[in-house]
Amino acid sequence: MNEATPETVDLDLSLCDKEPIRTPGSIQPHGFLLSLTKELLLLQASENLSTLTGIDAASAIGQPLAAVIGADNGAQLARHVAQAEIGQRPVFLCHITLANQGQFNVLAHYYDSALLLEFEAIPTAGTSDLRQLYRRVSDFLLKLNEAATVEEMSRLACQEIRAITGFGRVMAYQFDADGHGQVLAECRDEAYHSYLGQRFPASDIPRQARELYMLNRIRLIQDANYTPARLVPPLNPITGAPNDLSFASLRSVSPIHLQYMRNMGTLASMSVSLMVKGKLWGLISCHHATPCAVPFDNRTACEQLGQILAMCIAAREDADELTFRLDVRRVMVSMLAGLTQSADFTDNITAVFPQLLHFARAGGAAVLFDDRLLTYGDAPAEADIRALVGWLDLNSHEDLFHTDHLAGVYAPGAALTANASGVMAMPISRIHKHYLLWFRPEVVHTIDWAGSPYDKPAGGSQAAQLSPRQSFAAWRETIHGTSAPWHSGEIEMALEFRSALIGIALERAEQMAELAEELGRANKELEAFSYSVSHDLRAPLRHIVGFSDLLLDAAGNDSLDKRQRFLKNIKDSARLAGKLVDDLLSFSQMGRAALRPTSFPMRDMVNSCMDKLSIDMRGRDIHWDIGELPTMRADPNFLQLALYNLMSNAVKFTGQKDKAEIRISASENDAEWIVSVADNGAGFNMDYVHKLFGVFQRLHRMEDFQGTGIGLANVRRIIERHGGRVWAESRPGEGATFSFSIPKEPQS
C-alpha cells in the first residue's frame, strides 16, 4: 500500500505517486546499515549505529569495517564478501554477535557504487528451524497438487505463511484490470476482522509502489510506530545523491503508509509479491495488531512459498485459458464450415446465428450488409443498430471494437443497457458498410469494498489526511450499465474469425473472377462455334449439295468414272462434316469431365500414341528421337489425347518432307515437368502464334494440310485443366516445337 518518504515535512498528498520512496534517506531501526567502499571503508552509517554498537555514526565515517564491528567480525565479513557473488539483490552473508547487543543477520548488495551491508537483529524467539521450514515447503507442494482452484491454492499459502510468521491475519488478493485488489483467500485469528471477498481500491498502492513490489518480492514492517534512523551523511559521497534503497530490507517507508496501517489497526505487516508471467498478479498481505519481528530465514521461506504459488497460478490459468480457447475455436470452426455451404453469405450467416451467440457468449447478434440488416436473439431495435454502426464508422478505426460499458463511450448507449450494455463489433469491409455485431445485456452486480474508495477526509489537520480513507468497514457498491467483460481469448478469436471471413470473401471474389474468366473464354469459344457452323461446317455441306446437283444433272450422260468421282467427293465432305461435329463434342466435353489423376510412365503413353499413328505413318520415312521421359501424375486419358494431338500434328506437318524427324523430350524444374514435341516440318509464322490454340484456327490452307482446327484448342484446354501451360516456337519451313508443362503437385 502507500509508501513514500519518512520525513515529517509538509506533504502534498496529490503528489503521492511522485514521492521518492526509493530514496527515503533512512531505515527502520530494528537493524543498522553501513555503506562501504570495495576496500570496506565506511562511507555512510545509519544514525542508530551508536545505539546498537556504542560507536557514533559520524565519527565512524572513513573507518575500516573492523573498527566498527570488531576485528573478528570484520575479518569474518571480509572473507564472506570476497567469496560471495554479490549483485543488486541482497544475499545472506552470515550472522554475527555484537557484544551486549545479541546476534545479527548480515545481508549484502551493491547499489549506487557502494556495498550496502544490513545488520538485522535476530529476535530471541520465533526463529524456525531450517529443517522445519523445509518440511513446511514440501508439505505445501503436496497440498497444492490436490487444490482444484486458484482460491484453494491461495488459502493453503495463507495458512502456511501464517504458521511460519505468527501474523494474526494473512490474506491473498488478486489485482484486476483496473488495479483493484480482490481478496481471494484468508487465514486469521478470530480476533481479527475478515476481508474475504472484499476489494481494496487501486489508489491504496500508487504506481511507483507497485513497481517496487515487482523489484523487491518481500517487504517487512515490524512496527508502524517506529522512529526512522537517518543515514549519516544523508548523501552518498560517491554519487552526491540520496541512496537508492529499493532492495534494502531495512528501507524506511512513507508516513502515509504507516498511518494507513494504523488506521487499519495494524502495527506490523509483511507483503509477498505474486509475479505471474512477469506481471504483478497480486499480493499475500500479512497483518498483526502489535509489533512483530520475522527472522530472515522465515521470510525467505515465505518468499519461496509465494514463488511456488505464483508458478501454480500461472499453470492453472494457462490450463483454463487453453480449455476456454479450444471451446471457442471449436465453435468458430463449426461456424466457418456453415459459412461455406452456399453462395449467399447472408443466408449462411443466418444459418449459424446460434453458434455466433455461443462463440461470443452474447445475448444477441446482428449482421449489416449495406441496407440489409439481420438480427438474432436479444438485440436492439433496427434503428438503434444502424445509428450505432454509423457512430462506429466515424469513431472506430480498428479491426475490432469492444466495450463492456457502451454508455461510457457512446451517449445514446444509455438507452440500450437492457440488451447492449456490452458490444463487440467488427467491420467486414472498409469500403462497404458491412458489420458483424454481438450484444451483451446489463449485469447488475455489487462490489464489497474494504472501506469506501471514495471516502476522502475534507479539511482537518495534516495527520487526519495522511490516508486517502480512514475507514476499512465493509462498504457495498452497486454497479449498473455494464455487461460481463469480454475475455481476451474471445477478442483474439474474434479477430481470427474476422480474418477467416475476409478470407472467405476473397476466395469468393477469386471464384467470381475465375468464373468471369471462364465465361469470357466460353464466349470466345461460342463465337468460334458460331463461325464453325456458319463457315467450316457449311463448307462440306455445300460440297455435298453441289456434287449431288452435278450428279443429278449428269445422270445418264456422263461416264461412270465421273459419277464415281462425284460420289467420292460427297462421301469425303460428309466424313469431314462428321469429324467436325465429333471434334466439337470432344472439345465441349474437355471443360466438363472430372480429372482423375494417377501416376504413369510417360514413355508408355508415347508408345501408345505411336501405335495409333501407325496407319498415318505407313509408307513414310519418319525418324523418332525419344528422350528420357519421367513418371508423372495427371489424368492419363486426357493427357494422352493432348499428346496424341501434338504427335499427330508433327506427323501431318512433316508430310512434305522426304525424311521426317520428330523429337520428344522432357525436362523439369522445382515445380513442374515440361514435355516438348519438335519436328522439322512446315513450321509457321510466329506473328500468328496467338491464334494457334484457338478453336478452328488454322495457319495453313486446308488443301495443304487437312484438319478441323480443334486439336490444339483441345491440347490447351486439357493442359490448363491440369494447372499447366502450353506454348509453341517455330520458323516457316524450319519445323516447330510444341511444349506443355504439368505441375508436380497436380490440382485437385
User: In this model, does residue 31 exceed pLDDT 90?
Assistant: yes
In this structure, are residues 328 and 489 in contact, taking their beta carbons and an 8 Å threshold?
Answer: yes
Q: Taking Cα atoms as reference points, which of 204, 208, 205 lies closest to residue 22? A: 208
Q: Tell me: the pLDDT tens digits for 174-210? A: 998 888 888 999 999 999 999 998 888 888 888 888 8
Q: Hey, which residues does 34 pair with through a beta bridge? A: 45, 117
Lowest mean pLDDT among 16-30, 165-179, 320-334, 693-707: 693-707
Q: What is the pLDDT of residue 492?
A: 82
Q: What is the pLDDT of residue 430?
A: 63
Sequence-distant (6+) residues with CB within 8 A of 121 are 30, 31, 52, 101, 102, 103, 104, 293
- Measured N-to-C along each axis, helices 353-360 and 296-338 cross at an angle, to the nearest 10 degrees, of 170
Pairing of strands 622-626, 660-668: parallel
Residue with cell 499413328: 613
User: In this model, does residue 685 exceed pLDDT 80?
Assistant: no
Mean pLDDT of 386-408: 87
- 77-80, long-range: CB within 8 Å, 24+ apart, which pairs? 77/40, 77/106, 77/117, 78/40, 80/106, 80/108
Position with higher pLDDT, 518 vs 611: 611
Q: Tell me: the pLDDT tens digits for 413-439? A: 889 988 888 898 888 766 667 888 889
Q: Give the whole-number percent of the chain exceeding pLDDT 90.
A: 32
pLDDT classification of 46: cutoffs 50, 70, 90: very high
The rounded distance, in Å, linking the Cα atoms of 160 and 166 is: 10
Position with higher pLDDT, 244 vs 372: 244
Residue with cell 516457316: 732
Q: Tell me: the pLDDT tens digits for 504-529? A: 655 555 555 666 666 666 666 555 55
Cell, residue 306: 509465494
Q: What is the pLDDT of residue 663?
A: 93
Sequence-distant (6+) residues with CB within 8 A of 143 are 156
Q: What is the pLDDT of residue 460?
A: 45
In this structure, are residues 352 and 367 in contact, taking their beta carbons and an 8 Å threshold?
Answer: no
The rounded distance, in Å, linking the Cα atoms of 172 and 151 is: 9
The rounded distance, in Å, linking the Cα atoms of 107 and 296 is: 9
Spans of all domains in the chain = 339-439, 591-748
Q: Give the whole-number percent of the chain exceeding pLDDT 70.
A: 74
In this structure, are residues 58 and 232 in contact, taking their beta carbons and an 8 Å threshold?
Answer: yes
- 600-604, long-range: CB within 8 Å, 24+ apart, which pairs? 600/631, 600/632, 600/633, 600/634, 600/636, 601/629, 601/631, 602/629, 602/630, 602/631, 602/632, 602/666, 602/675, 603/629
C-alpha separations of 444 from 173, 317, 406, 454, 475 in Å:
23, 26, 14, 20, 17
In the 3-class helix/strand/coil scheme, how is 667-679 assigned residue by residue?
A: EECCCEEEEEEEE
Q: What is the pLDDT of residue 467?
A: 44
> Would the pTM count as exceeding 0.75?
no
Q: Taking Cα atoms as reference points, which of 588, 591, 584 lies closest to residue 537? A: 584
As assigned by CATH, the class of the 591-748 domain is alpha beta
Mean pLDDT of the chain: 80
The rounded distance, in Å, linking the Cα atoms of 491 and 480 is: 23
Q: Specify burial of residue 467 (Cβ count, 10 A radius: 0-12, 13-18, 19+).
A: buried
Backbone angles phi, psi at 276, to 5 degrees: -120, 115
Which one-letter DSSP state was computed for residue 533? Answer: I
In this structure, are residues 68 and 60 in contact, taking their beta carbons and an 8 Å threshold?
Answer: yes
Mean pLDDT of 490-517: 68
Cell, residue 545: 449439295
Radius of gyration for the alpha carbons in the chain, expressed in angstroms and rounded: 45
DSSP string, 369-422: ETTEEEEEES---HHHHHHHHHHHHHH--SS-EEES-HHHH-GGGGGGHHHHSE
Listed ranges 344-348, 353-357, 587-591; the one with the highest mean pLDDT: 353-357
Mean pLDDT of 110-133: 78
Instruction: Kindly report the CATH number that applies to the domain delimited by 339-439.
Output: 3.30.450.270
Q: What is the pLDDT of residue 675?
A: 93
Lowest mean pLDDT among 78-92, 256-270, 322-336: 322-336
Q: Specify burial of residue 497 (Cβ count, 10 A radius: 0-12, 13-18, 19+).
A: buried
Three-state DSSP state, 714: helix
Mean pLDDT of 15-34: 84
Q: Tell me: the pLDDT tens digits for 55-101? A: 999 999 999 999 999 999 999 999 999 999 999 888 999 989 987 77
User: In this model, does residue 242 exceed pLDDT 90?
Assistant: yes
In this structure, are residues 649 and 726 in contact, taking their beta carbons and an 8 Å threshold?
Answer: no
Cell, residue 34: 553501513
Mean pLDDT of 606-612: 87
Q: Tell me: the pLDDT tens digits for 446-481? A: 666 666 666 655 444 444 443 445 656 666 667 778
Q: Tell me: the pLDDT tens digits for 546-579? A: 656 666 666 556 666 766 666 666 666 666 555 5
Which residue type does 211 have?
A: E
Mean pLDDT of 299-327: 87
Q: What is the pLDDT of residue 73?
A: 92
Interior CA angle at 466 toward 460 and 471, to 5°? 85
Q: What is the pLDDT of residue 631?
A: 92
Mean pLDDT of 317-342: 77
User: In this model, does residue 603 exceed pLDDT 80?
Assistant: yes
Q: What is the pLDDT of residue 650?
A: 87
User: In this model, does residue 666 exceed pLDDT 90?
Assistant: yes
Q: What is the pLDDT of residue 167?
A: 96
User: In this model, does residue 9 exceed pLDDT 50?
Assistant: no
Per-residue burial over 329-359, b = 16 or more CB atoms within 10 Å of its CB, e = otherwise? eebbeebbebbeeeeebeebbeebbebbbbb
Neighbours of 431 (CB within 10 A): 6
First to last CA, the chain: 66
Query: 295: cis peptide before it, omega within 30°?
Result: no
Sequence-distant (6+) residues with CB within 8 A of 245 are 22, 23, 24, 27, 111, 116, 251, 252
How many residues are there in the chain?
A: 748
Neighbours of 489 (CB within 10 A): 18
Q: What is the pLDDT of residue 545?
A: 61
User: In this model, does residue 136 exceed pLDDT 80?
Assistant: no
Q: What is the pLDDT of residue 8?
A: 35
